[in-house]
């Protein structure tokens, strides 16, 4: 055990150099030297006894250094129901793009709708693709792209994964689309990208209307806010997700664990970005998936994605989140926003409420808030009529029609909303 702890400490100190073999070689060398020193005055057979735990520790720690998945990026296969286009953006990102044109027989809307999925740096799930098709059936010309490094989009160097890059990619995508101003629906971390885009005059100039759905923290000061979440979610009460887990493999359990603890940088030499993406599975998300649903839905959480389509870059995601935590306040810029916006908040949200209400307080152009009852963080999920209710709220705002739900909470309601643990 002492040797294993020593090895893990060396992994941190060497930043996983050489896929961990630098730490492994040093650990084994020190262990053998110590074992031989301990047995120097014993008979030759007895000198071998201290080497037994060294051999065991060497075998266990070696498993952390040996990849069990391809080290070159293995992208998800093409989807059977929508073509994957690849667009090279002016920022240098090459992203996978999906287009759902207005369904035949529907009344087309003149302004394209761009969807920013959550993650960050995650592929668009099949559940989200189904929701985008539902919007297209309402007459919307829907475009979605997987942010750089996510899904079928090309990887970036690790130091280029920043929240600012994601905002610039959004602006470059709209320019590449070439259809003038667009409506944007941003969900979860995609809502953070959208919020920061509203605070960036160059990008905001191309936004017609914005739907901010279940946002995370928008900047460093907001990320440090604490407080209550929404009504109870299914976290810790839903059945455990089934399927293979990379965290059951020593190499990836150590790599992802140390990164999650902040002891290992996302761009360390232990596990390369492509290998980490190939290894990470939906089951590795554990209770994070369950936290997107209400407690009442704990035993009927839908399968959000297939093994073949699922893609999540844990390292790049942590890197983006870190740049948000380190960023200064965007409140002064957001207060100048003039883009009409709507905020969507889920009743059973797993997001900290003050992350959401801070955006409401700081963005004067938010015209309405829709507090969505009986749904969790993943508001459109195929259960009951949740998708239809989400579509109704979104389309009513985009078409500047009366909202299906009360405008709640308003800015004047924030204090009571937080106090009542809504």
Mean pLDDT of 141-148: 98
pLDDT band at 287 (very low <50, low <70, confident <90, very high): confident
Question: Reduced to 3 states, what is the DSSP secondary structure of residue 206?
Answer: coil
Cα three-residue angle 176-179-180, rounded to 5 degrees: 100
The domains of the chain are located at: 2-62, 85-419
Residue 387, pLDDT above cutoff 80 = yes
Instruction: Give the Cα separation of 46 and 41 in Å (integer).
Output: 9
pLDDT tens digits for range 51-96: 788 888 888 889 999 999 999 999 999 999 999 999 999 999 999 9
The structure's pTM equals 0.93
CATH H-level, domain 85-419: superfamily:
Alpha/Beta hydrolase fold, catalytic domain (3.40.50.1820)
In percent, the amount of the chain with pLDDT more than 70 equals 97
Sign of CA dihedral 316, 317, 321, 324: positive
Mean pLDDT of 323-340: 98
Question: Reduced to 3 states, what is the DSSP secondary structure of residue 351?
Answer: coil
Mean pLDDT of 235-262: 91
Give the contacts of 18 (CB within 8 A, at least 6 positions apart). Answer: 269
Residue 404, pLDDT above cutoff 80 = yes
């Amino acid at each position: 055990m002492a040797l294993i702890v020593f090895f893990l400490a060396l992994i941190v100190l060497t930043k996983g150099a050489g896929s961990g073999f630098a730490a492994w070689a040093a650990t084994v060398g020190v262990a053998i030297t110590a074992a031989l020193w301990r047995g120097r005055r014993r008979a030759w057979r007895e000198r071998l006894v201290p080497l037994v735990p060294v051999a065991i520790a060497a075998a266990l720690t070696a498993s952390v250094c040996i990849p069990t998945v391809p080290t070159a990026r293995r992208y998800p296969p093409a989807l059977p129901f929508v073509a994957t286009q690849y667009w090279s953006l002016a920022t240098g990102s090459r992203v996978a793009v999906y287009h759902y044109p207005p369904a035949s027989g529907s009344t087309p809307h003149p302004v394209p709708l761009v969807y920013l999925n959550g993650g960050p740096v995650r592929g668009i799930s099949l559940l989200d693709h189904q929701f985008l098709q539902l919007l297209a059936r309402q007459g919307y010309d829907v475009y979605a792209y997987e942010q750089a490094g996510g899904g079928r989009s090309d990887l970036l160097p690790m130091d280029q994964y920043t929240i600012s890059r994601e905002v610039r990619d959004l602006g470059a995508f709209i320019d590449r689309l070439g259809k003038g101003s667009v409506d944007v629906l941003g969900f979860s971390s995609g809502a953070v990208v959208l919020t920061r885009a509203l605070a960036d005059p160059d990008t905001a100039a191309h936004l017609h209307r914005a739907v901010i759905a279940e946002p995370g923290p928008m900047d460093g000061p907001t990320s440090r806010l604490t407080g209550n979440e929404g009504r109870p979610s299914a976290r810790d009460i839903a059945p455990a997700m089934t399927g293979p887990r990379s965290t059951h493999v020593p190499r990836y359990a150590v790599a992802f664990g140390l990164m999650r603890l902040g002891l290992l940088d996302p761009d360390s030499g232990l596990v390369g970005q492509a290998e980490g993406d190939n290894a990470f599975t939906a089951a590795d998300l554990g209770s994070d998936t369950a936290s997107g649903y209400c407690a009442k839905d704990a035993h009927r959480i839908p399968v959000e994605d297939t093994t073949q389509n699922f893609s999540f870059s844990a390292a790049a995601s942590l890197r983006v989140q870190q740049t948000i935590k380190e960023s200064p306040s965007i409140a002064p810029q957001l207060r100048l926003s003039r883009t009409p916006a709507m905020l969507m908040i889920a009743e059973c949200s797993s997001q900290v409420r003050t992350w959401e209400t801070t955006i409401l307080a700081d963005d004067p152009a938010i015209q309405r808030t829709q507090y969505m009852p009986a749904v969790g963080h993943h508001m459109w999920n195929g259960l009951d009529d949740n998708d239809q209710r989400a579509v109704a709220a979104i389309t009513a705002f985009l078409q500047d029609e009366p909202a299906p739900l009360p405008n709640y909470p308003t800015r004047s309601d924030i204090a009571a909303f937080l106090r009542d643990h809504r």
